[in-house]
Chain A
């Protein structure tokens, strides 16, 4: 019964993504939704999608929740962690025990940090297109219950959808290399981090709250996150019209 419900939900996710790909879509927004779906469909507490930049270093592109502690945990994996190994080998790593001595020895800064954040188990699944690996999907669990083979297969299916999402994005002339698409996605991600800082400072709020307000406004007004961020940065959008974060700002504007 539960399995049926999940399959139906999974089918909906694929339809949702397929629908989004028809339009000129926002890659960050779609990947964020996909990360949230991973949490919903698999028994995991957090999910993140990482892409390799031009130097082969993994960068966070989207996460199931945008809390800074989680983003920093992903960021630690630019040089060590299961995602790095998954990206280098192209093979999935599942059910890694973060409390065990092996994890501690293999990833001396990542493993303790993940444990301190409350995660006991992690999984890394490659984002693969034919022979090319462009990044990895990272899953975290707060409990010790392992993911079964079916779950891992589903995680791989979701990772494949993420890969298609990234590489389907329209570049200026469609024609050339998917590397540009990866770079474009990463540049969009950096822009969003920059605008988080701008809004947090204007609202005198934390960056997480600033992002929540930013995203809520974008959703309500059907704005693409990356475009919206650009308009805020270049000053063509008056941020006073965005409702600030709840416990906000004694002085919302300077």
Chain B
């Protein structure tokens, strides 16, 4: 009886297996994502710098980049909303959006020939890393399957950005799909504790936790439980074996 599509499509599964964030091929990953999603376009922006400005990572086709630039220019739109609220903003038919919601953006989007936009935040809880933007074609419909596929892609991109794929730091080979289901409360609690111990943002704390688990061959849940029960601390002097920078900082 349950009509749940909990399985991602074959096309998206293939894509997630082959996708590498640091692939050199320009906007080729975006083109592959758009194909797998059956979408008119795809763009991925990540938050960088002190001010957490959304920087375009890759996009396809040109209209996607122009739409990202438009959102950045006018400072409003589904991308900023998705980032602020940490929730997908799904508007496959922009003609049905109240004009006063994004007064500056909507006329511009129409000029660009953008029919609909669905934005999925990249992040874990309060960790905000970026946003996946999917442009919809004139069919103005976004299916459950597309929604699930886009969510899976956003989760995979989240892992990739957490792995340092953005900065070009070494990421684990084949790491993209990664541990998207961090489904234990202790993992998130430990993330919060480590962020205070090290005085670093939550994203970095989670990375340290995952790196420690990976490096010691332990389950992340077990390591998190040790942190929560205070048998393991991360407030070393930055030169310890747990440091991802191997003592440089």
Q: Which residue numbers of A lie inside 8 Å of B, CB to CB?
A: 52-57, 59-60, 68, 71-72, 75, 78, 87-90, 131-133, 171-173, 175-177, 179-180, 183-184, 187, 189-191, 193-202, 207, 229-230, 233-234, 254
Q: Is the interface of A mostly helix, strand, loop or mixed?
A: helix
B147 within 8 A of A: yes
| B2 partner, pick from A54, A90, A171, A201, beta carbons under 8 A | A90
Contact partners of A198 in chain B: CB under 8 A: 192-193, 195-196
Contact partners of B97 in chain A: CB under 8 A: 173
- Whether the Cβ atoms of B183 and A172 lie closer than 8 Å is no
Q: Which residue numbers of B lie inside 8 Å of A, CB to CB?
A: 1-4, 6-7, 81, 85-91, 96-98, 101, 123-127, 144, 147-148, 151-152, 155, 180-181, 183-197, 202, 228
| A173 partner, pick from B91, B123, B126, B144, beta carbons under 8 A | B91
A234 to chain B, nearest CB (A): 8
- Whether the Cβ atoms of B228 and A197 lie closer than 8 Å is yes
Q: Given known contacts A68-B228, A176-B90, what 18 new A-B pairs fall within 8 Å (CB)? A: A54-B152, A60-B185, A71-B185, A72-B184, A176-B91, A177-B147, A179-B151, A184-B86, A190-B188, A193-B125, A193-B189, A194-B126, A194-B192, A197-B188, A198-B193, A200-B189, A200-B193, A207-B228
Contact partners of A233 in chain B: CB under 8 A: 126, 202
- Whether the Cβ atoms of A133 and B4 lie closer than 8 Å is yes
- Whether the Cβ atoms of B193 and A133 lie closer than 8 Å is no
Contact partners of B3 in chain A: CB under 8 A: 131-132
Complex: A207 Cα to B202 Cα, angstroms: 17
Contact partners of B185 in chain A: CB under 8 A: 60, 68, 71-72, 75, 193
- Whether the Cβ atoms of A196 and B87 lie closer than 8 Å is no
Chain A residue nearest to B196 in the complex (CB)? A201
Complex: A131 Cα to B2 Cα, angstroms: 6
- Whether the Cβ atoms of B87 and A54 lie closer than 8 Å is no
| A194 partner, pick from B96, B125, B144, beta carbons under 8 A | B125
B216 to chain A, nearest CB (A): 20
Contact partners of A183 in chain B: CB under 8 A: 87-88, 151
- Whether the Cβ atoms of A54 and B4 lie closer than 8 Å is no
Contact partners of B189 in chain A: CB under 8 A: 193-194, 196-197, 200, 207
Shortest 3 CB-CB contacts between residues of A and residues of B: A197-B192, A56-B6, A190-B125
12 contacts between A and B (CB under 8 A): A54-B151, A55-B181, A68-B185, A71-B185, A88-B2, A90-B2, A133-B4, A194-B127, A197-B188, A197-B196, A200-B192, A201-B193
| A52 partner, pick from B4, B101, B127, B195, beta carbons under 8 A | B4
B231 to chain A, nearest CB (A): 13
- Whether the Cβ atoms of A68 and B144 lie closer than 8 Å is no
- Whether the Cβ atoms of A194 and B186 lie closer than 8 Å is no
- Whether the Cβ atoms of B180 and A55 lie closer than 8 Å is yes
Complex: A235 Cα to B188 Cα, angstroms: 18
Considering residues A55, A57, A72, A229, which has the most beta carbons from chain B within 10 angstroms of its beta carbon?
A55
- Whether the Cβ atoms of A201 and B197 lie closer than 8 Å is yes
Complex: A74 Cα to B184 Cα, angstroms: 9
Contact partners of B90 in chain A: CB under 8 A: 176-177, 180
- Whether the Cβ atoms of B193 and A197 lie closer than 8 Å is yes
Contact partners of B124 in chain A: CB under 8 A: 190
Asked whether A196 and B86 contact (CB < 8 A) given A57-B181, A173-B101, A190-B125, the answer is no
| B192 partner, pick from A68, A87, A196, beta carbons under 8 A | A196
Complex: A189 Cα to B126 Cα, angstroms: 10
| B181 partner, pick from A53, A133, A187, A199, beta carbons under 8 A | A53
Complex: A199 Cα to B228 Cα, angstroms: 12
B170 to chain A, nearest CB (A): 26
